[in-house]
Chains A and B, each alone.
Chain A
Amino acid sequence: MSMNEFLSTYGALIVGMVLAAILALSLYLPLMAGQLSLASPGFYALGGYIAAVLSTKVLLQNGQAISPFPVHLLLFEMLLAGIIAGLLAVLVGVLALRLRGIYLALATIAFVEILRVLSLNLDITGGAIGIFSIPQPFTNAIQYLLIAAPLLLLSAAFVYRLERVRAGRALLAIREDELAADTMGINPTFYKVAAFTLGAALASMVGALSAHFLNTWNARQGTFDASIAYLAFVLVGGSRTFLGPIAGGMLLTALPEFLRAVAGIGGLPGWLSQFLREGRLIIDGLLIVLVTIYFPQGLITPDLFKRRRKAAEKKES
């Protein structure tokens, strides 16, 4: 297979993996402060609608969508989507973050549902049909990496640095023991809302990019299923280092394609290849159960790196 062939076959998958990794990071940010929020799909959907509405109804040329869509306008949409989602997140966060643990998770699922039902019933979001023919800034899928890859690198670098400075350590302290953090002068509400807001802005930016990438946007984009899928990214990848969600997002996005390829190998019994092709949800669920039992902290943990470093030091001495 030539490089070009490879990219045209797997371009969309690679971009999808990168976007999934960023979405997983959007869940990881509130988790740094111990807050299990499943609101990301809601903000993702919101960002997508912002980009879809702007590019098909507002930013027109001679009454028509601009094609090819200018990249600087795409970046502008992403910025705007991030800001609007951030503002909404402050409101939602102040209310929802009074809740803890599973109750917060449930409240954020309810938030995602509210946005979904709204988008199904509003005219501006195109109701049940949604918005289609969203203009493309690029001619083929892989070119979306030009935006997706830097966004992943920037957000990963951001989280990596955050864990090593004052604000990030405050989040970790809240995760470890909120009450102790409070008595040591850290305002838990402020930091929890801030982390939630950053995660929301990130998810919304991915949504804005995805709306162009997928060409259509509708109420199926931000659903309960997506909440669980993103949660799986973090559970499988690991929630104690930012590399966990990135790996989880990429792995679980690539897995169905990989299984489809395996199913194509000749000589497999019919039922097995059908299961590999179509049993995606079952396999996802199975994976979550198995990882939770055998790797309760996820596949990638901070100790993994510590152990390797220690082993390397031993070798040297």
Chain B
Amino acid sequence: MSDSTPFLKVNSVTRRFGGVVAVDNVSFELQRGELFGLIGPNGAGKTTLFNIITGLTAPTAGQINFRGQDITRFPPHRIATLGIARTFQNIRLWSNLSALQNVMIARHTHTRVGVVSGVLGLPGAAAEERKTRERALEILELLGLVDRLDERSRNLSYGDQRRLEIARALALEPQLLLLDEPAAGMNPNEKQTLSDFIRQLREQFDLTILIIEHHVPLVMGLCNRVAVLDFGELIALGDPFQVQNDPAVIEAYLGDETALDKTKPRTRVRK
């Protein structure tokens, strides 16, 4: 990969659901090692864009390139194998399995023992199993979950579940980590801790991170670049300061927050 090839390239991606355009001709590029924020009001298409990058939703038009490879039509498990891991906004842990199992399962692409040698417990398989367990324990330790490892993940507290999702994603040893509202439901203190933690993760695991977040101060303090989506369109892209003062962004956000009747659906302002 030459230096000029972007790490991740989102190229004119559009996704329609019937008459709704969830993502509308969005393009941006990520450089290796960036901490990139994706913000926008509810329903702006952020999660849909995540689903497109990870292969869960096919784009109606456009391509996704990861390290020079077109991954647009790849199934999710193949994209994961290439080194893209994610968390989910509405936590999707394997809820009846233990915290340890959740993380061990995410080592799937880095392990290879087949059914027969695994079931028979042949020496190679036993060694790999031991290594998988050790690696999973290290990651749980890092996330401060090591004392809950035998707990079924659905019995964990909300914050622990969010942390376990990050642990699971890290177990995949991704190069690109997509975090979908990791700070949802946390108090300002926890948000600050999380923000520091994400920065530490990037250093420690040499990650490129794409993060969706509602909490604007967190994104502004954490990310080196920010993209803003509104009604599926990319309305701003740049460093946090630039974006924060962009009139289009102010309108999208203030238009939302000053509305007295919050239940009233926002109507689109045509330019």
Contact: B115 with A172, CB < 8 Å? Answer: no
A184 within 8 A of B: yes
Decide: A183 near B80, CB < 8 A? Known: A165-B129, A166-B113, A167-B114: yes
Contact: B119 with A158, CB < 8 Å? Answer: yes
Contact: A184 with B119, CB < 8 Å? Answer: no
Q: Contact mask A162-189 → B, CB, 8 Å, 1/0?
A: 1001111110110011011111111110
Contact: B95 with A176, CB < 8 Å? Answer: yes
CA distance A181 to B106 in the complex (A): 8
A194 within 8 A of B: yes
CA distance A169 to B85 in the complex (A): 19
Decide: A184 near B85, CB < 8 A? Known: A161-B121, A165-B118, A172-B101: yes
Tell me the nearest residue of chain B to A174, going by C-beta. Answer: B94
**Nearest-Cβ distance from residue A138 to partner chain B, whole angstroms:** 30
Contact: A184 with B113, CB < 8 Å? Answer: no
Contact: A167 with B109, CB < 8 Å? Answer: no
Complex contacts, B41 vs chain A, CB 8 Å: none
Tell me the nearest residue of chain B to A157, going by C-beta. Answer: B119
Complex contacts, B94 vs chain A, CB 8 Å: 172-173, 176-177, 180-181
**Nearest-Cβ distance from residue B42 to partner chain A, whole angstroms:** 22
Decide: A182 near B76, CB < 8 A? Known: A170-B105, A176-B96, A177-B94: yes
Tell me the nearest residue of chain A to B110, going by C-beta. Answer: A185
Interface residues on B, range: 35 or more
Complex contacts, B101 vs chain A, CB 8 Å: 169, 172
Complex contacts, A182 vs chain B, CB 8 Å: 56, 75-77, 80
B163 within 8 A of A: no
- A166, A167, A170 pick with most chain B CB within 10 angstroms: A166
**Nearest-Cβ distance from residue A120 to partner chain B, whole angstroms:** 36
Complex contacts, B120 vs chain A, CB 8 Å: 161
B168 within 8 A of A: yes
B81 within 8 A of A: yes
Besides A180-B92, A182-B56, 20 more A-B contacts (Cβ < 8 Å) are A161-B119, A162-B115, A162-B118, A165-B113, A165-B115, A165-B119, A167-B113, A167-B118, A168-B118, A172-B94, A177-B94, A180-B94, A182-B80, A183-B54, A183-B56, A183-B79, A184-B108, A185-B109, A187-B77, A188-B77
Top 8 nearest A-B pairs by Cβ distance? A165-B118, A176-B94, A185-B80, A185-B109, A182-B76, A180-B92, A161-B119, A167-B115
In the assembled complex, 20 residue pairs joining A and B whose CB atoms fall closer than 8 Å, in A order, are A165-B113, A166-B113, A166-B128, A168-B118, A169-B104, A169-B105, A170-B108, A172-B97, A172-B101, A177-B95, A179-B56, A179-B92, A182-B56, A182-B76, A182-B77, A183-B55, A184-B105, A185-B80, A185-B81, A187-B77
